[in-house]
Amino acid sequence: MEDYLVIAFKIVVLILLGFLIYSLLRKGLRFLFRRQYLPSSLNNVIIGAFRWLIIALVSLMILQQVGVTVAHLWAAVSAFLVLVAVGFVAVWSVLSNILCSVLLIIFAPFRIGDEIEVIEPTGTGGGLRGRVTGLNILFTTLEQEVEGSDARMVLEIPNNIFFQKSIRRIIRPHDVTKPLKLEETEA
């Protein structure tokens, strides 16, 4: 029972020391800001950074009092960060393609049936070219004729490519829509 009381007392002392150090540091920084030794635009940033640093240090010291070693804690935190990083990278490309497919549908830079070419933004070099035959949540399907044969080739292009490259839409004379004429009605 005495051990628990000693540990509880140490934890309370650590928390109070953390508050004391934070308040002294904040007062000192505010003095430096008032005297213009530090730019006032950094006031909240520096004070916030010190606040979180003190919270992290006090938390580590409290965990050590409870019996958790820093090595075990660091192993758990680093494993969690690796999992988050790998998961973010894996999901990022899928989410990017989903968002880009929604934007392709909304802004419609091309439609199914159009012949397009995906080129570098500078307009140089040949790119992927074909007739758009499909658009799903991840890919746009282009169909190309294979030279010297009746065969056709299908390309699946990730939708986010259309926001990284330029798109050239090929317009054939029969594709151009004629302006609509308003018919006069007799009254």
157 and 83: one domain? yes
- Please report the pLDDT score of residue 185 as a whole number: 47
For residue 182, being part of any structural domain is answered with no
Shared domain check, 78 and 45: no
| Block mean pLDDT (10 aa), the chain, length 187 | 84 94 90 80 83 91 84 85 83 88 90 89 75 92 89 92 88 60 48
CATH number for position 96: 2.30.30
Measure the CA–CA gap between 12 and 47, rounded to whole angstroms.
23
For residues 77 and 64, state if they share a domain.
no
Query: Two tokens at 168?
Result: 């050239």
Same domain, 55 and 116: no
User: What pLDDT does 176 receive?
Assistant: 54
Measure CA of the first residue to CA of the last residue in the chain; give whole Å: 101
Same domain, 7 and 19: yes
pLDDT at site 124? 65
Residue 127 lies in a domain: yes
| pLDDT (0 to 100) of residue 168 | 87
Answer yes or no: is 183 within a domain.
no
Find the domain containing 37 and state its range: 2-68
Is 96 within a domain? yes
35 and 64 co-located in one domain:
yes
My answer on whether 51 and 113 are in the same domain is: no
Q: What are phi and psi of 182, to 5 degrees?
A: -80, 125
* C-beta separation of 147 from 130 below 8 A: no
DSSP state of 138: S
Residues 64 and 74 in one domain: no
Alpha helices per DSSP H over 35-117 = 43-66, 70-107
Query: Is there a single domain that holds both residue 57 and residue 9?
Result: yes
